[in-house]
């Protein structure tokens, strides 16, 4: 067997090993889906703004200055 043929066979064998490993992802790399897309600070700020603006709107309507 010539040197180039041995090198080619070695590369083919390495490639075939790589093919059998394809698709098997370790558990640590798979996302669990427990993370929220926004952080708790941003979520709290959003809730504060929404609830605060609704309370402010109720106060304006109760005092009568909300009639525009």
Residues with Cβ within 8 Å of 57's Cβ and at least 6 positions away in sequence, in order, are 66
Q: What is the pLDDT of residue 15?
A: 83
For the chain, domain boundaries: 38-63
pLDDT number for residue 33: 62
Q: Interior CA angle at 33 toward 42 and 50, to 5°?
A: 25
pLDDT in tens, 11-66: 888 888 777 666 666 666 556 666 678 888 999 999 999 999 999 999 999 988 75
pLDDT at 5 over 70: yes
Q: What is residue 23's predicted lDDT score, i.e. its pLDDT?
A: 67
pLDDT for the residue numbered 13: 86
pTM: 0.42
- In SS3 terms, the chain reads as CCHHHHHHHHHHHHHHHHHHHCCCCCHHHCCCCCCCCCCHHHHHHHHHHHHHHHHHHHHHHHHCCCCC
């Amino acid at each position: 067997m010539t040197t180039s043929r041995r090198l080619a066979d070695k590369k083919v064998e390495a490639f075939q090993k790589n093919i059998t490993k394809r698709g098997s992802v370790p558990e640590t790399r798979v996302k669990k889906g427990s993370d929220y897309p926004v952080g708790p600070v941003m979520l709290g700020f959003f809730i504060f703004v929404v609830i605060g603006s609704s309370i402010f709107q109720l106060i304006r309507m109760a005092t009568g200055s909300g009639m525009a």
